[in-house]
Amino acid sequence: MPVDLTDADEAILDMLSRGRCTVGYLADETDYSRQHVHNRLNVLLAAEYVRKVHDATGLYELRSDPRSDG
């Protein structure tokens, strides 16, 4: 399902395009709150743009960058 990307989504996708990241690292590097990053990751996860690699640490990776599709 396509997602209207927010500025936070863009920042998260930029970080994940460089490699795997935890929620905490994404929050620190993007200046968004951990809760906001977590919420946006859930949206990106549902859209299958990202994949949760490790539950305990909240480690995520990019599956498919919607900005480069189509």
Backbone angles phi, psi at 62, to 5 degrees: -80, 130
- Ordered structural domains, the chain, with CATH: 7-62 (1.10.10.10)
- Give the model's pLDDT for residue 56: 92
| Tens digit of each residue's pLDDT (9 = 90 or more) over 27-68 | 999 999 999 999 999 999 999 999 999 999 999 999 999 998
State the Cα–Cα distance between residues 64 and 56, nearest whole angstrom: 23
Mention every residue, 6+ apart, whose C-beta is less than 8 A from residue 25: 15
- pLDDT interval class at 9 (50, 70, 90): very high
Whether 36 contacts 57, CB under 8 Å: no
